[in-house]
Chain A
Amino acid sequence: MANIDENKEGIKGMINPTRYGIERFAYLLMRLTGLGLLAYFVAHIYETSMILQGKVGWDEFLAITQTTEGHIILALVIGMSVFHTVNGIRVMLGHGGVGVGKPARPDYPYPAYSQNARHKITIYSAIVLAAIAMMYGLAVMFGE
């Protein structure tokens, strides 16, 4: 059977966070933070394996990570973790039907009750908490 061009939006459509509200932005951030955290996790497993090189090997590797760039990356990781966690809890509960509203007879102008204030507030809270956590992390790392 010949491949039909489905006129798919493609990656541009998947990563476009504009025009459809904060929930779409949260979907994109969830993907990005997830992939970022996975990359950090793999790097962290490698980094911690340096303990097997003894004190010299460990200190050598620490010298690479305990730099300004290293601290900034770690601060980003802190922010990503907090956002991914808080938004993840929201999404998990939402996936179970919690907080998505109750079905009712639709009436003009047909608002979407699943896109309610509870979810919007949680998303903004996740972003704010991530920012606060990042600032705390930077204060700890650069404060010493």
Chain B
Amino acid sequence: MTAESLQISNEESGSIVSPTKTITLRIARSNPNTNTELRFDEFKVPYQKWTTVLDTILEVKKYLDHSVAVRYSCRQASCGSCGMKINGKPSLACFTKITELNSDVVTVEPMNNFPIIRDLTVGFDRMFSNHKKIKPFIINEESEITSGTKEFLQTPEEVEKYIQFSSCIKCGLCNSVCPTMATDSSFIGPQALAQAYRYVADNRDKGKDERLKIIDDSHGIFRCHFAGSCSQVCPKGVDPAMGIQLLRGYLLGFRD
């Protein structure tokens, strides 16, 4: 586009461009492999009204410090990769706008209750193994072997019972904020428990008793005390606290 045509299009569009402001982005830097002490590197980064925290981190990576380690992918809150602590609260970096933080200083740190790999990147092995523990698949012996011979019928009402919990993107924010996980390394975690309910509530599944046995453990569902912080930070509206209490209702005899 020529400079002249650009000028014409700018004049004709009549759109108000968001003024550029600057924030101080403090990024936690650490490397457990080289025993590097935790430190905070500060960067002055420009932002506009649509700029997300992830945008500012990538701006730093592009122009100021390429060595910042950060996990990200979809940039639209559907992959769950960019979970981190932003001004002390676990959030998705791509889903948090700078303007909604109401602060000139934005501090980003790795999520708590996950081992740090480097800088903002954390390890998900424990969360994934806890997730696998609760058998996150439909358990039904009547599954057909030859395709096309059988279907599991499910009404819209039956779908509504579990669809909310299937929105989980495994971002780990719930595990990060859970007060039990803050001190209990053996606790299975709100993510796994909510997913256990997702399958128990699915009428196609026949593995309820199996899953209830797995979570009926000294570090299982009863170490959840309904603090509700997991639901406060969930970016997809999964509301793990609701799922966990509904699941516990089966064990306590409130539901059968």
Residues of A within 8 A of B (CB): 4-14, 16, 19-21, 23-24, 26-28, 30, 91, 94-98, 100-101, 103-108, 110-115, 119
| A28 to B227 Cα, complex, angstroms | 9
Evaluate contact between A23 and B114: CB separation under 8 angstroms: no
A-B contact pairs, 18 of them (CB 8 A): A7-B114, A9-B182, A14-B180, A20-B233, A23-B229, A24-B179, A24-B232, A28-B179, A95-B226, A101-B239, A103-B243, A106-B236, A110-B235, A112-B228, A112-B239, A112-B242, A113-B242, A114-B231
12 additional A-B residue pairs with CB within 8 Å, beyond A6-B114, A101-B239, A108-B237 = A5-B32, A7-B111, A8-B181, A9-B183, A10-B182, A11-B183, A20-B177, A24-B179, A96-B252, A97-B249, A103-B164, A103-B242
Do the beta carbons of A20 and B245 come within 8 Å of each other?
no
Q: Are A94 and B245 within 8 A (Cβ)?
A: yes
Q: Are B228 and A20 in contact (CB under 8 A)?
A: yes
Collect the chain A residues with CB atoms within 8 Å of residue B122's CB. 7
Binds A, one of B7-15, B41-49, B155-163: B155-163
Q: Which residues of A contact B79 (CB under 8 A)?
A: none
Q: Is the interface of B mostly helix, strand, loop or mixed?
A: loop
Asked if residues B254 and A97 are in contact (CB atoms below 8 Å), the reply is: yes
**Sorted from nearest, which 5 A-B pairs have the closest CB atoms?**
A110-B237, A106-B237, A13-B182, A96-B254, A97-B249
CB distance from B157 to the nearest CB of A (A): 11
Query: In the complex, what distance in Å separates the CA atom of A113 from the CA atom of B234?
Result: 12
Q: How far is the CA of A10 from the CA of B183 in the complex (A)?
A: 5
Which residues of the partner chain B approach A108 to less than 8 Å between Cβ atoms?
A: 237
Rounded to whole angstroms, the CA-CA distance of A110 and B242 in the bound complex is 13
Interface residues on B, range: 35 or more
Cβ-closest chain A residue relative to B182: A13
B246 touches A27 (CB 8 A): no
Known: A8-B183, A96-B249, A114-B231. A13 touches B226 (CB 8 A): no
- Say if the beta carbon of B133 comes within 8 Å of chain A: no
Residue A114 contacts which of B116, B235, B241 (CB distance < 8 angstroms)? B241
CB neighbours (8 Å) of A8 from chain B are: 112-113, 181-183, 185
Within the complex, which residue of B113, B201, B225, B255 is in contact with A91, where a contact is CB–CB below 8 Å?
Answer: B225
* B231 cross-chain contacts in A, Cβ below 8 A: 112, 114-115
Specify which chain A residues have a CB less than 8 angstroms from the CB of B183 in the assembled complex: 8-11, 13-14
Chain B residues, Cβ within 8 Å of A100 = 241-242, 245-246
B165 and A103 contact, CB distance less than 8 A: yes
Instruction: Please tell me if the beta carbons of A23 and B227 are within 8 angstroms of each other in the complex.
Output: yes
A106-B238 contact, Cβ under 8 Å, with A9-B113, A98-B254, A114-B228: yes
The complex places the Cα of A22 from the Cα of B246 at a distance, in Å, of 21
When the two chains form their complex, are residues A20 and B239 in contact, meaning their CB atoms are under 8 A apart?
A: no
B248 interface residue (CB < 8 Å to A) = yes
Query: Which single member of A5, A27, A113 contacts B116 (CB below 8 Å)?
Result: A5
Give Cα A20 to B112, complex, Å: 15
Name the residue on B nearest A115 (C-beta).
Answer: B228
Contacts of B113 on A, CB cut-off 8 Å?
6-9, 13
- Residue-wise, chain B 166-209 has the 8 Å CB interface mask toward A (1 for contact) of 01000000000101111101000000000000000100000000
Is the CB–CB distance between A111 and B237 below 8 Å? yes
Selected contact of A14 from candidates B116, B179, B234, B237, CB within 8 Å: B179
Which chain B positions have C-beta within 8 A of A119?
Answer: 228
